[in-house]
Amino acid sequence: MFKTVNALVKSFGEDIRNWWHTAWVLHVEGFHEARLGSDHVVSTYKHIEAHMTSSPP
C-alpha cells in the first residue's frame, strides 16, 4: 500500500498521501484497534468523504 501511495503522489500530488494517511489512521485506529472516539471518527470520515466526492485533480 505504501508503495502504491508513493506512485499515486507522483501522478496526483502530495494531497493524495495526506488523504490516504487520514483514511489509514481511521481504519486502523478506529476499526481494528477501536481507540478512536465516535466524535473523532465522524469528523475524520467527513474530511475523507469531502475529498472523495470532489472532482479529481
Judge whether 39 lies within some domain.
yes
How confident is the prediction along the chain (57 residues), in pLDDT tens digits per residue?
A: 889 999 999 998 988 888 888 888 888 888 787 888 888 888 887 777 777 776 555
Range of the domain at 23: 2-52
What is the residue-wise DSSP string for 12-40? H-THHHHHHHHHHHIIIIIIIS--S-HHH
List Cα–Cα distances, 9 to 22, 30, 46, 47, in angstroms. 15, 25, 22, 19
Flag whether 35 is in a domain: yes
Residues 6+ apart with CB under 8 A from 16: 5, 8, 9
Whether 57 is covered by a domain: the verdict is no
Structurally, how many domains does the chain consist of? 1
Q: How many residues does the chain have?
A: 57
Q: What pTM did the predictor assign?
A: 0.65
